[in-house]
Structures are given as structure tokens and as C-alpha cells.
Amino acid sequence: MANNTIPDAGEKQQTLLGADELILNMGPQHPSTHGVLRVKLKLDGERVIGSECMIGYLHRGVEKIAEHRSYQQRSYQQFAPYVDRMDYVAAVSNGLGYCEAIEKLLMVEAPPRAKVIRTILTELQRIASHLLWLGTHALDIGALTPLFYCFREREEILKIFEKYCGARLTTHAFRIGGLQYEAYDTLEKDVERFCKAFEPRIKDYEDLLTQNRIWLGRTKGVGILTAAEAIALGATGPVLRASGVKWDIRKAMPYAAYDQYKFEIPTGKTGDTYDRYMVRMEEMRQSRLICLQAIENIPSGPIMARVGKVLKPPPGEVYHSIEAPKGELGYYVVSDGTVQPYRVRIRPPSFVNLQSFDKMARGGLVADVVAIIGTLDIVLGEVDR
Amino acid sequence: MQAVTQATTEFVKQNWAPLVCGFVVVAVLPLIVGYVVLVERKIMADMQARLGPMRVGPHGLLQPIADAVKLLIKEDIIPDDADKLVFWLAPVLSVGAALLAMAGLAIGPAFQIAQGINIGILFVVGVSAMGIFGIVLGGWASNSHYSLIGALRSSAQLVSYETAAGMALVCGLLFAGTLNITSIVQAQYDQGIWFGLLAPVAFFVYLVASIAETNRAPFDLPEAESELVAGYMTEFSGFRWSLYFLAEYTNMIVVASVATTLFLGGWLRPFPRTHWLDFIDFLPPLLMVVIGVYCLIRVPKQPVRVQQLFMLAVAGMCFAVAVVLAAPMLGPLLKPSLASAMKPFFEGIHGGFWFIFKVGAYIYFFMWLRFTLPRYRFDQLMRLGWHFLIPLSIINVLLIGIAMIVGQYFDLTGPSLLLTTIPASVIALMIALFILAVEQKKEPQQQPGAATPDSYA
């Protein structure tokens, strides 16, 4: 068949019946590759004996753009909206990471009020991102309904974003040095209302899935990643935590206002798809608690630190990472003292987590492949940049 | 030549009624299927906190027609590498088998195309199983990997679950003692109990197996959209695709009708022989009146005049159906002499209502499962079939047979036969669960990375 002309994925292996192996080209146009991921699968019957992820279909050269924005000589600010387009389902987190990295470079600190509001919005964004993951992951495994429930709640979060900054998806909510907008009057009330309503909703999702025999069969023991493997492959975020490693940058290297709040880091044991599911579900609960704590006491004061209209950081370099919903999102920025960054290197969690795909998929069935793509929670905008 | 023409004329003269019925079924069924799809989408929307199709016609009532027109005028694409003849033949085969199976079904005592066919159930099951050829050939002819995997999954699945379904049907047939569909329903009337109650385990097995046979979720692996794009239908589009679609939904109606006939008392109303419950006969027209009144209330709330008229027409239709349902009952009340003349009408019309009602309930259950459950994986599906359903159905047939003999020995008939069949069903279920537990223990735990044998490789 025509598809056999594409080169082998991985090394040759013995098939069960000594038959030819089947090369299945999954994507870039496929219902469950979450965008434009292309996976070449080498199959023995339905069993995966090799795989190769082919990425780059959504490459826009984000890092290069950072070096070249010079419109009105406000390059650092000009680039800020671009990072929202990487992980477009968690734009607020991307923006936070970038703003804080540049603030570190400028040696300024955002005022406390800005920090708390940043924390609230980022945690809401984490819930929104996990909701989207839950919906699509369940849809991949065949449960149609959770998707719409998840979107219903995500919509509430997006409405809060819209009220705050006018945008829902690529929000560009923060500015370097603080916030562009003062929080609107009923922000606390909106967040509180959402958090109150959200608790029973999580239970609804869990009722549909957690104890479901089919769900257990599809996720337990699928795509196992041991702690050692996860660390070796550089996995971060829920993927790492589900393997039993208690590593969360919010605790390890607190940023924004996270050091003020109490929350748990959920971890798994076996590192299979079910554990990753449970970890993310618990993370949503914890994020909700952080939001509730944060709205209790939002300090008053200015929302912007004193930064100039044109940012000219002193020459030097900085690496700043945050715990994005998908894992460690790092920005390495080099300044040569001009108005443009000399280099911006981004460590996207999805890209690094995707490297463990082959490890997880090998030995599974075709149906497991979509479960693993779902459980890695990748966003191709971030993988390809 | 003339002899042939004469024979044909003769045949048509003798069999004009079934021919007309068949024509009606073939002509109307696509429309019915279209509306089943609309109902499915509406139910799905209701369960998923949204509205569903709302644009075409009031509450999307014209959506099926718009969809059909769209599918018919789409470009007809045959892939270059496809086997053209088989690609053309496959959907036709699939839909042909499904439509042919409809011929054996009896919707009410009056409406059956193949009147009095003595192997009724066997005919329906056999012919509808032929639809699998359409799927396998279609998957093969498309010359695409997704289609091929879908077709292979489908064939393996159908073979596994057809066995269990057949065994479950045998249970019902043991009680009926006949394959003739009319006689089966009559037997349930005579014995005064649905066979589904006499053999609940058999009904359960048939329920599960019929979902798997019609490729519905959670057993929709042959067309698992998140894995295989559209499985065997991946390369089909437009009219050919709609033929497959028609076949799938027709098959759903067929299995639901078989289950209704054999396990749910066919066109009999609930408790057909309990006379103090005769008021149940008034429920169907009452139901239609209630729906009609609801539509009437909704009329002023429609934003556009056309939609108001349409809603009014729907209400009118409901009232018309209510009148049709009520007429054979009210007639004798006004003129007692009409009672005997009205009886066949009453049975035909109300039988049709109850049959469609039960089939609808069965299909609703299918839809409910589809929106609630995730999808099985292939090896899990096979394990469920071979390690649980097939042993269960075979043991169940054996034990139900023994229960019937014991029942005869003690002169138990009708509902009192429950005394023997229910324990038999429970024992069968327990043995099957035991077998399942033993099998699971024997099975080596799947090692990640190790090439363990495929279920069907």
C-alpha cells in the first residue's frame, strides 16, 4: 500500500506471526492528535511495536520573533502577546512566566496586589486547562459527555477573563512589571461563585469516570512511566508527579504569591494513565483552594511597578520557570543591553513531555495510543512554537 | 418470455399487499432513520447541557431532510487505489441486508411484509448478519489502513457476539416453541408473561450482544472515531457513506424489534390479560394529546411565523394520531354493535403503537449508553465476549432448558414458571462469573513492551 513508502519508525522487530508490519500514519489530520501531531506507528496487528512523533506542523518561529520585534522600540512588551499563542489553552500561565522572567532581568518586582491577582488568574487558567484536557481525554477514550460538562465550567472561567481583560483565549492579561488593568469590581465575587459551584461539578466528572469499569480498563496500566524514566526523559508537571515524584515549582521555587497559600502536591504511584488522571483531578481541587484563599485577602495598592515605557534591561541572562498546567515552563532570556532581547529560549513542557510518548506507547494497542496522547496533555502550539 | 411475464403478473396479483408494504418500508425507512438520528442528537444534547440542532425548522425538525439533501448532492469520491467494483458493491450489500431483514419483522399483528413466514426470527437474524460482508468488503476495497483495521475489528467482533446473541435468542425460543414471529408474541399472550422476565439473563446477554453487533458505543470499535477516524467508512463519502449510515440505524431498529418481539412481548400492551388494568389502553391516545397540547402551548413562543405554523402542524398531527388511536375504543362505547368489527383495527393500531414504543425505549437505552460510557479496547471487548458472554449464554440455555423440564414436572405454566427459571438464571450468572474470575487469574499480567499475543492477530 501507498503508506509503506514512508521510512521505518524505529528498528525492525519480529512480528507475532512473522507477517509484514503495518505502518499506520496517524495525523496530522486526525480526530485525536490534539492539533497537528503526526505519529508514525509501526504495528503488528493492532499492537504498537514502534512509534515516531513528527512535529513542526505548527512552527511559527516564536523564539526568533522575540529577537526581531522592534516596532516603536518596545520589543520586550511587543513580544509578550506572542507567548500567549504557544500554549493557547493556558495563555495566562505563559504570560506570567514571560513577564516574571523579564522582571527578574530588569530587577524589579511586581507589587503585592498584582502578584495576588496574577496568582488567582493563573490558578483559574490551570483549572481551565485541566478541564479542556479532561474533556478531550475522555472523548478520545470514547466518553462523549464529559467534554460538554468541562466546557460548561471552562466557559465560566473564560467569562471571568473576558470581564477582566476583554479577551477569552489569548488574554495577554499581565504586563511586564504588574498588571495593565485594575481588577474589576466583582472579581472576588465571580471567582468565589465559580469556586463554590465547581466543587460538586468535579464530583460529577468523577462519578462519570473514576469508578467506571471501562475507564479503569482503558487507563489502568496503560502508558506506564516509572519515576526514573520520567526524570530521565525530563518530564515535568502532572506527568512527573503521577510517577511519584513530588516536584512542583510552585513549592520548590515559589513565584508570584504562591508562598502565601497552603496547598498539597498530589502524586501518583505507578505512573500510568489512571494516575495522571487522578493527579490532574486533585490538582483542580487544589487550584480551587488556592483561588479561595487568594480572594480572601487581596492587598490594596498599585498594580504596576515603576518600569519605563521602553525597557532596556542591563546586559545579562536569566532563566525563570513557572509551573504551567502542563509542567515546567521556562524562559531563558539573554539581554545585551539594547531594547531587544538578544535571545529568548523557551522550555515548553508539552515538547519535553511528548518525548516520553514512544516509551509509553510501545507494547500497547492502537487504542492506547490515543489514550497516551490524551494523557500527556500536549498542545501543539507549544510543542512546535 | 411471455410465460415469465405471465408468472410475474400472477405473482404480483397474489402478493400485492407485501409488495406494497415492502415498497413503503424502503421508501419511508430513510426518513424514519433520519428522524431517529435527529432524536438521538436531541437526546445527546439534552444529556450534555446543550440544545442540539435548532436552525433548520423549529427545534431542528427539518434537519434530517437538510442532511439528506446535503449527502445526496455531495461529490462522489472513489479513491484511486480502491477496488472500484467492491467499493461500489459494499455499501449496497450492507444496506440491502439491513432492509431485507425488515421484511421478516412484524410491527403489530397486521403489518408484516413476509406474512406468516415460519422461520421468522431465524430469517431476520441470518439476513441481518449478512450486513457484515458490506463492512468487511468496504474496509478492504478502500485500500486504506484505517479502513482495513476497522473492517478486521468488525468481523472479529461480529463473529464473537453473534454466537452469544444467538444463544440468548434460543432461550426465548425455548419458551415460545416456534420461530414464527406472530406465534412468538401469541405465546407470550397465552403464557401471560414476557419471556424477558422469564429469562432475564438471556435478555441481558442479547442486549449487550446486540449493541456490539450494531457497532454502537461502548462497542463501536470498528468505527472508533478517536482511533480509526471513521473505521471502515473512512474513505466513503456522500451517498455511499449515507448508505452505511442507513444500514447502521436500520440494523439498530432490527435488533430492537427482535428483542421486543422475543423478550418484551412484541405488540402486546403491558399486562394484556389483566382486565382491571384495561385503562392502560387509554394511555396511548392520552400521551399523544398531551404532546399535542404541549406543542400548542409552544406555538406563540416561536419567533418566526413559519415556525409557528410548523409547530401548529405538529400539534395537529399529534391530535390526529390521538384520534386514530382513540377511535377504535370510542366507537364501541358509542355503538356497542361495532365492537366486533372494531376489534382488528384496535389490535392493529394499538399493537403498532406499543411495538414502536418498546422499540423506541430499547433504542433510547442504546443512546443512553453511548453518551455515558467510554469505549472498550479491542482485547477487552474480545475478553468480555469469549470469557463471559458466550459461556454465560451457553450455560443459561442449558439451565433454562432444565428449568423448563422441572417446571413441566411440577405443572408450572406462565408466571409460576419464574419459580424455576429465575434460580436457573442466577446459577448461570454465578457460574459464568466464576469462569471469568478463573480466566482472569490464569491470564499472565500484560507486560508493557512485551509482544503478547493479539486477540485476533
- The predicted-structure confidence for B304-316, as pLDDT tens digits, reads as follows 787 788 888 888 8
For A253, residues 6+ apart whose C-beta sits below 8 A from its C-beta are A321
- pLDDT exceeds cutoff 70 at B381: yes
CB pair distance less than 8 Å for A142 and B373: yes
Q: Across-strand partners of A53?
A: A39
Phi, psi for B343 (deg, rounded to 5)? -60, -50
> What is the pLDDT, as a whole number, of residue A143?
85
Spell out, as residue ranges, where chain A has pLDDT lower than 70. Answer: 1-20, 70-74
CB A209 within 8 A of CB B374: yes
> What is the pLDDT, as a whole number, of residue A13?
58
From the list B81, B226, B450, which residue is nearest A31 (CB)? B226
From the list A2, A32, A224, which residue is nearest B226 (CB)? A32
Distance CA B204, CA B212 (A): 13
- pLDDT exceeds cutoff 70 at B447: no
Number of H helices, E strands in chain B: 18, 2
Amino acid at B232: Y
CB B224 within 8 A of CB A142: yes
From the list B143, B375, B378, which residue is nearest A46 (CB)? B378
How far is residue B105 CA from its own chain's centroid? 11
Distance CA B71, CA B93 (A): 19
> What is the pLDDT, as a whole number, of residue B450?
42
> What is the pLDDT, as a whole number, of residue A279?
92
Number of other residues whose CB lies within 10 A of the CB of residue A178 = 23
Q: Please give, rounded to a whole number of angstroms, the shortest distance from the CA of A96 to a CA of chain B.
A: 33
> What is the pLDDT, as a whole number, of residue B217?
76
Tell me the three cell numbers of residue B445: 499480567
DSSP B116: T
Q: Across-strand partners of B111?
A: B107
ipTM for the predicted complex comes to 0.78
Tell me the three cell numbers of residue A86: 504557544
B1 vs B83, higher pLDDT: B83
Q: Give the mean model confidence (pLDDT) for residues B346-365.
A: 85
Chain B residues with CB under 8 Å of A142 CB are 217-218, 220, 224, 226, 373-376
Among A204, A218, A224, A366, the residue to mutate for chain B (most B Cβ within 10 A): A366
For B306, residues 6+ apart whose C-beta sits below 8 A from its C-beta are none
CB pair distance less than 8 Å for A141 and B217: no
Rounded to the nearest integer, the mean pLDDT of chain B is 82
| Chain B CA closest to residue A363 | B449
Amino acid at B145: H
| Chain B CA closest to residue A20 | B457
Percent over 90 (pLDDT), chain B? 2
Tell me the torsion sign for CA atoms B54, B56, B62, B63.
negative
| Chain B CA closest to residue A359 | B449
A9 vs B436, higher pLDDT: B436
Amino acid at A72: Q
Q: Please give, rounded to a whole number of angstroms, the shortest distance from the CA of B98 to a CA of chain A.
A: 26
| Chain B CA closest to residue A140 | B226
**Helix intervals (H) in B178-301:** 181-191, 195-198, 200-213, 225-228, 238-263, 283-298
CB B58 within 8 A of CB B310: yes
DSSP strand E in chain A: where? 22-26, 38-44, 47-54, 174-175, 178-179, 316-324, 327-335, 341-347
Band (B7; pLDDT cuts 50, 70, 90): confident
From the list B49, B143, B226, which residue is nearest A139 (CB)? B226
CB pair distance less than 8 Å for B457 and A16: yes
Chain B residues with CB under 8 Å of A28 CB are none
Q: Which of B280, B9, B370 is nearest to A214 (CA)?
A: B370
CB B46 within 8 A of CB B52: yes
Q: Which of B151, B40, B37, B165 is nearest to B93 (CA)?
A: B151
Amino acid at A186: T
Distance CA B188, CA A320 (A): 76
Tell me the three cell numbers of residue A184: 474589576
**A345-349, B389-393, B438-442: range with lowest mean pLDDT:** B438-442
DSSP string, B34-55: HHHHHHHHHHHHHHTTS----S
The number of C-alpha atoms within 13 Å of B1 and in the hemisphere containing its C-beta is 0
Interfacial residues of B (vs A; Cβ cutoff 8 Å): 44, 47-50, 81, 143-146, 149, 217-218, 220-221, 224-229, 370-380, 446-454, 456-457
Band (B139; pLDDT cuts 50, 70, 90): confident
B334 vs B243, higher pLDDT: B243
SS3 of residue A219 by DSSP: helix
| Chain A CA closest to residue B80 | A2
From the list A22, A214, A369, which residue is nearest B374 (CB)? A214
SS3 of residue A334 by DSSP: strand
Global confidence as pTM: 0.82
Distance CA A11, CA A46 (A): 18
Say which residue the cell 519515576 belongs to.
Answer: A227
> What is the pLDDT, as a whole number, of residue B176?
85
How far is residue A351 CA from its own chain's centroid? 10
